[in-house]
Amino acid sequence: MKPDALINGVSMLSLGWLRETVNFPTPQSQSNTITVPGRNSPIRFTEALGRVAYQPRSFDMTFSMLGDRADFDILVSTVVNRFAGKLCRVTLTEDQSLYAVGTLEAAPTYDPLTGKGALELSCTDGDAFLYHTEETVVSISGGGNVTLANDYMPVVPVITVTAETTLRWAIDGESLQKTVSAGTWEIPELELRHGNNSVSVTGEGNVTFVYREGRL
């Protein structure tokens, strides 16, 4: 299989472009330090809010084609009109279980001596995390304990209940609980961390947790 990139589900290969290079570096943390006279170590604010925050993800991809200038202009126009300056979902064929989100900008070049055209698509404002293509859905009926496995990105699940339900869980050693009526809810305090998150469910109805996992 030839390496390809899917942008909003559209194959660049199907548009006439061969993928040559791809660069998806790890985003850098949002770090801030203060040097205090008399101290041997700076004061670090990287985890000032209890977790590491990250700068926007930057990435770029280069595509090529062979043909005359007229063909090149048509291929460039197709991509630019569909994706340039727009917030897009980008998936690489090497791992279609993850996708990146960011605004794409296009930079085309053409060499008339070789008849080779190139198109660079770049992003400087991408979301730091790569998202799972499929949402995670966990359901329980009639109460009990449920385990919500999560990747590295913290996430708050969307919870749908069919009858009044009490949820109990613990974060950082602190026990929490919330009683909700039938409907769909997001509880900010019920934030899933990396690994297995245990939630106790008390009620007679059905409870469904839906969330999208992510990782750097």
DSSP string, 23-91: E-PPPPB---EE--TT-SS-EE-TTTTSS--BPPEEEEEEEEEES-HHHHHHHHHHHHHHHBTSEEEEE
pLDDT of residue 173: 82
pLDDT of residue 27: 87
Q: What is the dihedral of CA 4, 103, 125, 119, to 10 degrees?
A: 50
pTM of the model: 0.86
Q: Hey, is 194 helix, strand or coil?
A: coil
> Could you report the average pLDDT of every consecutive run of 10 residues in the chain (216 residues)?
92 95 88 72 63 87 95 96 96 94 96 94 95 96 92 96 93 88 94 94 93 96
pLDDT of residue 200: 95
Do 187 and 167 form a contact (C-beta atoms < 8 A)? Answer: yes
Bridge-based pairing of strands 57-66 and 18-23 is antiparallel
Cα separation, 174 vs 171, in Å, equals: 5
Instruction: List the domain boundaries for the chain.
Output: 5-132, 136-215
pLDDT of residue 17: 96
CATH 4.10.640.10 fits 136-215, yes or no: no
What Å distances lie between residue 88 and 67, 99, 160, CA to CA? Answer: 27, 10, 29
pLDDT of residue 146: 95
Amino acid at 105: E
Do 150 and 199 form a contact (C-beta atoms < 8 A)? Answer: no
Structure tokens at 121: 């698509």
Structure tokens at 26: 């790890």
Q: Which CATH fold topology does 5-132 show?
A: Elongation Factor Tu (Ef-tu); domain 3 (2.40.30)
